Structure 1
Amino acid sequence: MPDRALSTPLDDSFERYLQDKGKGRGGGGGNYRRNAARELERFAEWAAGDRGADDWTGIADDVGREPTFDDLDERVFREYARHLGGDRGLKQNTVQTYYRYISAWCGWCVNEGYLEAHYAQRASAMAPLPEDDGRKPGDQQAWTSEQRHALTRHVDERARDAVEAYTTLPEDTDPLDKQRARYAALKAARDRALVFVLAYTAVRVGELLRDPNDPRRRGVRWEDLSVDDGSMDVYRKKQQWDAASLPDPVISPLRSYRQLMDPPTERWPVFPTFDQRTLAGLVRENLAERGERPEAIIERRAEYARDLLLALDVDIRPPSITTDGARSILQRLSEAAEIDIDHPKHDYLAPHGGRRGMGEVLVRAFGYTVAARYLDNSEEMVRERYSHIEAGELGDVATEALEEIDSVPQ
């Protein structure tokens, strides 16, 4: 390893690391970048002796010298793990999460040549961390009420503005400009409907959208929805069709979206892809199959601002967005809504988090039996996944019992 890498101050690597992990132009955005930057700053302060016990002087041999990569080894990360798990009032999972940010940076430093080994992942370094409780962090995200309201409010305002911009255009607006406004309104309305369905129905994203690896999961179509009855037919995880509920918050976004889209048939997907490359190929192929010559197809497409609008007019049915497509949409929307997310795996509101968040609401409001029916799960499984709620309720019962006993005169 070059000597210059060993003598490099720790924080000289931070910006490059954060750029690699960030989103958007230059890697300057994203919740993960923000959270990682916060933890790296804390680690740097601790390494310099600015955090910790009163007698803590940092990891450098010479007091006051800026720590460099030459000062890092597994003992340093062991001490930091002990520092995180010290008397700071941090929960077990929070300690694990904070350490993962530093460990991820350490692994990146190995790949970039700053370090010769991934010291943070060595057993001796991780020994002081709280024991893993067996839960998988990627499966534990649940949208909080604040996050759900922030996201639904953002997509609702965005859709309202786009629809109003389209419906209030002057009559003499250029046809292509009017099409562009309609397309923007359709996309915003689709995103709003998708977010509301994920947030309030607790339907699994794989039951709602297309799975390229399973032809049975082609995504819900308008024929599968009965908005007036408040129900939707989905192909369940248990390999059969079943009705899912559409609660009141979902009805208005779906109705508004359908009216704007005006699908040519009921077999159209509720959430079609808006990917231009996919739609362009689909339109060209279908028009050619209908006997149109290449020159005519070019002229036909030139009349439309987007191929989706042409597909609507001539009933060329596009595929539904995929489950991966939904994750990309939620990443974009979570970042645009500037939602605060602190999670070890997801820096956005992931689809399964909407389902888990709704499960929290149902268990707290109506108990495990009703929640199990709504979630299409066994009551046993729901009790297991939401056991923390029951534990809290039992704690309240115990507190109430103690207060009652203590209030009885002896």
Structure 2
Amino acid sequence: MSDRELSTLLEDSFERYLQDKGKGRGGDGGNYRRNAARELERFAEWAAGDRGDDDWTGTVPDDVDREPTFGDLDERVFREYARHLAGDRGLKQNTVQTYYRYLSAWCGWCVNEGYLEAHYAQRASAMAPLPEDDGRKPGDQQAWTSKQRHALTRYVDKRARDAIETYTTLPEEVDPLDKQRVRYTALKATRDRALVFVLAYTAVRVGELLRDPNDPRRRGVRWEDISLEDGSMDVYRKKQQWDAASLPDPVISPLRSYRKLMEPPTERWPVFPTFDQRTLATLVQDELADRGEHPDTIDERRDEFARDLLLALEEDVRLPLITTDGARSVLQRLSDAAEIDIDHPKHDYLAPHGGRRGMGEVLVRAFGYTVAARYLDNSEEMVRERYSHIEAGELGDVATEALNEVDSNV
């Protein structure tokens, strides 16, 4: 390497690397970019001596006043960082492995770009302090059981039915604002029901269904993407392309009822918009102002509606979808309200990915790995790995049956 490359600050490479690994125009989006950026910043702080044990002073010699450079890196440094991660008692084994993989990927990129002579992070001596990987992905193990799925769907279904009945049976002389409040309650209940049913029965990834603020291409599903007649929904898949997902029968009625109540002004309206009042208030005011409305006129219009969501529907002010984090908040609220019994080390509610995994369990048991892989939009190899416990149980049953047959002939 040249002297210039050896003297390059570590942080000077981060933005180029993140752009290469990011998604969307300019590489500015994507969960990987966000997570990798966080870990690289932690590594830079550690290398500067700002993290770690009291006796760790960083990679720069004590008598030198500068930030860490590539000339300071070797396999010993990566070994010390692996030991630092493994020594953090708050991190699980698989989490340590995940954090180190972010750093290792950056190290490999640096070799290709000429910043480093060798992939030090992948050397056996550097990786020796890492704990063994237990093969699990952090937070990706919850699966809704049939009992939990039925409990949640029954709860949101009854809640939506009651809200719709209250709205449709209002007397004609009721105050218009009171009627709007009841309609708003029904809209929220039917949106929640539709969201739960889609997550519970379609096995679509929550990031394919809703808005991901870290990936501009994942803008979420609009009504134009859904065909209730065909039972299909177009989503932006994990494999970076649009594809059709199936809408099984249990999902059709909740979506149809929700759409009828919402009456979206155009097909480009979001299926699952945010109901956050602060967000909606700002959006409605800004949009109407951009259309040339006077502030006093905007205030008067807002006073005519019980909620800004209803004004947005009336004026076709297109709303953003709820985010993936927003969906988690919705499910946490509904899980608590439904008083569902949940025993999981990480989640005290029915998390979105648990709906997908729960549906995968059903499909593998009923139709096998090949059909389940097609429905889950995964390779059969991946599905076999994720649901290997099912095959193990089935093989155990076969072994038991074989032993019983042999024992009966003794």
Q: Please, what TM-score do these two structures have when normalized by structure 1?
A: 0.67
The residue type paired with residue 292 of structure 1 is E
* 1:288 shift after superposition: 1.0
CA contact (8 A) 1:193 1:257 kept: yes
Matched, 1:263 2:264: yes
1:370 alignment partner in structure 2: 371
2:178 alignment partner in structure 1: 177
Deviations 1:275-296 (A, max 9, x none): 1111111111111111110101
2:232 alignment partner in structure 1: 231
CA contact (8 A) 1:207 1:219 kept: yes
Matched, 1:163 2:164: yes
CA separation in 2, counterparts of 1:135 and 1:178?
50
% identical equivalent positions: 86
The residue type paired with residue 344 of structure 2 is H
CA contact (8 A) 1:137 1:344 kept: no
* 1:136 shift after superposition: 4.1
Q: Secondary structure at the match of 1:242?
A: strand
1:352 alignment partner in structure 2: 353
Q: Secondary structure at the match of 1:217?
A: coil
* Matched ranges for 1:276-291 at <5 A: 276-291=277-292
Structure 1 vs Structure 2 CA RMSD: 1.4
1:31 alignment partner in structure 2: none
Q: Secondary structure at the match of 2:216?
A: strand
Q: Secondary structure at the match of 1:140?
A: coil
CA separation in 2, counterparts of 1:299 and 1:238?
47
CA separation in 2, counterparts of 1:345 and 1:405?
44
Matched, 1:251 2:252: yes
2:389 alignment partner in structure 1: 388
Structure 2: gaps (5+ residues): 1-88, 91-131
Deviations 1:21-59 (A, max 9, x none): xxxxxxxxxxxxxxxxxxxxxxxxxxxxxxxxxxxxxxx
2:209 alignment partner in structure 1: 208
* 1:399 shift after superposition: 1.2
1:240 alignment partner in structure 2: 241
CA separation in 2, counterparts of 1:276 and 1:167?
24
* Matched ranges for 1:182-197 at <5 A: 182-197=183-198
Q: Please, what TM-score do these two structures have when normalized by structure 2?
A: 0.67
* 1:401 shift after superposition: 1.4
Residues 216 and 133 (structure 1 numbering): CA distance in 2 closer, same or farther, change over 3 Å?
A: closer
Q: Secondary structure at the match of 1:320?
A: coil
1:307 alignment partner in structure 2: 308
* Matched ranges for 1:46-125 at <5 A: none
* Deviation >6 Å, runs of 4+: none
* 1:214 shift after superposition: 1.1
The residue type paired with residue 185 of structure 2 is A
1:142 alignment partner in structure 2: 143
CA contact (8 A) 1:272 1:318 kept: yes
CA contact (8 A) 1:311 1:317 kept: yes
CA separation in 1, counterparts of 2:155 and 2:272?
19
* 1:132 shift after superposition: 8.3
* 1:405 shift after superposition: 2.1
CA separation in 2, counterparts of 1:357 and 1:301?
43
**Pairs aligned (count):** 281
Deviations 1:104-142 (A, max 9, x none): 9xxxxxxxxxxxxxxxxxxxxxxxxxx984434511100
CA contact (8 A) 1:209 1:321 kept: yes
CA contact (8 A) 1:137 1:345 kept: no
CA separation in 2, counterparts of 1:135 and 1:321?
28
Deviations 1:119-172 (A, max 9, x none): xxxxxxxxxxxx984434511100000000000000000001111111100000
Q: Secondary structure at the match of 2:235?
A: strand
CA separation in 1, counterparts of 2:214 and 2:364?
33
CA separation in 2, counterparts of 1:132 and 1:226?
43
CA contact (8 A) 1:196 1:249 kept: yes
* 1:394 shift after superposition: 0.4
